[in-house]
Amino acid sequence: MQLSFLGQPYTASTTVADVLPTGDTAMFMGKPYARKQFTVTRRQQPVALTYRGVRYAN
């Protein structure tokens, strides 16, 4: 997805969440629901950042 911030275009990265059913059930506000385990993969951080035209290294 192409986005822009203060006139500068950038591409948004999406994270993937894997969902695993646990087989457990719980109650919330009187209603039962199936519990799930979520695993989110970590995004890779950029090597260098640019702020107002100046590049910074991590």
| Residue-range domain boundaries for the chain | 2-43
Look at residues 49, 43, 50, 42 and name the one whose alpha carbon lies nearest to residue 58.
49
CB neighbourhood size of 4 (10 A): 8
In angstroms, rounded to a whole number, what is the distance separating the alpha carbons of residues 24 and 34? 6
Q: What is the pTM of this model?
A: 0.38
Question: By the 8 A CB rule, do 27 and 20 touch?
Answer: no
* Residue 36 near residue 22, CB atoms below 8 Å: yes
Q: Per-residue pLDDT tens, the chain, 58 aa: give them.
A: 678 888 888 887 777 778 888 888 889 999 999 888 888 777 777 777 888 888 887 6
